[in-house]
Amino acid sequence: MPWLQLRVAVTPQQAARLEQALEGFGALSVTLMDAADQPIFEPELGTTPLWQQSELLALFEAEADQHSLREQLKQLDNSLKPQFEHLPDQDWQRHCMDSFKPLKIGKKLWIVPSWHQPPEPGALNLLLDPGLAFGTGSHPTTALCLQYLEAAVLAGRRVLDFGCGSGILALAALLLGAREVIGTDIDPQALAATKDNAQRNGLNDERLKLYLPEQLPTEKVDVLIANILAAPLQQLAGQFAQFLPSSGKIALSGILAEQAEAVLDAYSQDFEMAAPLEQDGWILLYGTRK
């Protein structure tokens, strides 16, 4: 069925009151979006910060009365400038699927949505369905990690993917020759997505082990890769060092350029770190255990 969409610019002070009011006016959904490309990173636990310039989108049934909605909004806050548009009916799941295309990483690795045919059947093709987990290869942090893994020598090595999400890095490591890969994530849905993607690629064998963080075995690994966020990376520096023997390799991403120095400081005691890699303002840090 078609829909009527309301679009209006709001401040953080207006947002909560307006969201509640629109639900009372019959909105089927209310969404807040960044209107000025202002990033919000690692909010404090229990907080839900909003952008200084936000855009609110509310979805109504197509026959909703625009004039009545305008009058109700005017009475609520005369400064609001609502805009309405009709949205045609469409298969939203198909729309999202169509936006995820096959992506080539480096010289030989392809990340291929599970509903696409591999563009190069003879290449290393990782068939991926992210499900509810993070990781499709399109974000710079994931792409940087995949480039690192492709350039690394993984044959015969044991790899730990800390924060495995969809399993994209863990499974790429297996395709690139790792002897064994351990994946861990705080979200059980991520472990389920990784397992599903492993089965999709015929990789659900003894070489892949999945754990919640508190269940991780203590054995050393040869390579540790973590694509999470800067603050937890800093907090985990000591724990990561314990996972790696002398000459073990580490790669860290999910780091903004302005956060790189603080993360480097956290790892400099135990690791010889190389020059950072950068893509679109995101950083990958890598090095070798002293």
Structure tokens at 241: 């060092």
201 is in an annotated binding site: no
Question: Quick check: 282 pLDDT over 90?
Answer: yes
Q: What is the CA radius of gyration of the chain?
A: 23
Best CA proximity match to 141, nearest among 38, 263, 52: 263
Q: How confident is the model at residue 52 (pLDDT cuts 50, 70, 90)?
A: low
* All structural domains of the chain: 3-89 (3.30.70.120), 132-289 (3.40.50.150)
- Asked whether 211 and 182 are in contact (CB, 8 A), the reply is yes
163 is in an annotated binding site: yes
Summarize pLDDT for 191-206 with one digit per residue, the tens. 999 999 999 999 877 8
Question: Quick check: 40 pLDDT over 50?
Answer: no
Mean pLDDT value across the chain: 85
Question: Quick check: 53 pLDDT over 70?
Answer: no
Own/partner contacts of 27-32, CB < 8 Å, gap of 24 or more, are 27/58, 27/59, 27/60, 28/3, 28/59, 28/60, 28/61, 29/58, 29/59, 30/56, 30/57, 30/58, 30/59, 31/56, 31/57, 31/58, 32/56, 32/57
Percent of the chain whose predicted confidence (pLDDT) is above 90: 52
Instruction: Tell me if the pTM is above 0.85.
Output: no
User: Between these two residues, 99 and 8, which has the higher pLDDT value?
Assistant: 8
Percent of the chain whose predicted confidence (pLDDT) is above 70: 86
- Asked whether 250 and 289 are in contact (CB, 8 A), the reply is yes
User: Between these two residues, 273 and 129, which has the higher pLDDT value?
Assistant: 273
The mean per-residue pLDDT over the stretch 209-227 comes to 96
| Whole-angstrom distance, CA of residue 116 vs CA of residue 47 | 39
User: Between these two residues, 204 and 156, which has the higher pLDDT value?
Assistant: 156
Please, which residues have CB within 8 angstroms of residue 276's CB and are 6 or more apart in sequence?
A: 260, 264, 283, 284, 285
Cα angle 8-13-14, degrees, rounded to a multiple of 5 = 35
Structure tokens at 162: 């800390």
pLDDT score recorded for residue 136: 66
User: Which segment of 57-71, 89-103, 239-253 scores lowest on mean pLDDT?
Assistant: 89-103
The mean per-residue pLDDT over the stretch 80-103 comes to 70
227 is in an annotated binding site: yes
pLDDT score recorded for residue 134: 60
Q: How confident is the model at residue 48 (pLDDT cuts 50, 70, 90)?
A: very low
Summarize pLDDT for 257-277 with one digit per residue, the tens. 999 999 999 999 999 999 999
The backbone torsions φ and ψ at residue 230, rounded to the nearest 5 degrees and listed phi first, read: -60, -45
Structure tokens at 214: 């508190």
Q: How confident is the model at residue 127 (pLDDT cuts 50, 70, 90)?
A: confident
The mean per-residue pLDDT over the stretch 86-102 comes to 62
Question: Quick check: 96 pLDDT over 60?
Answer: no
65 is in an annotated binding site: no
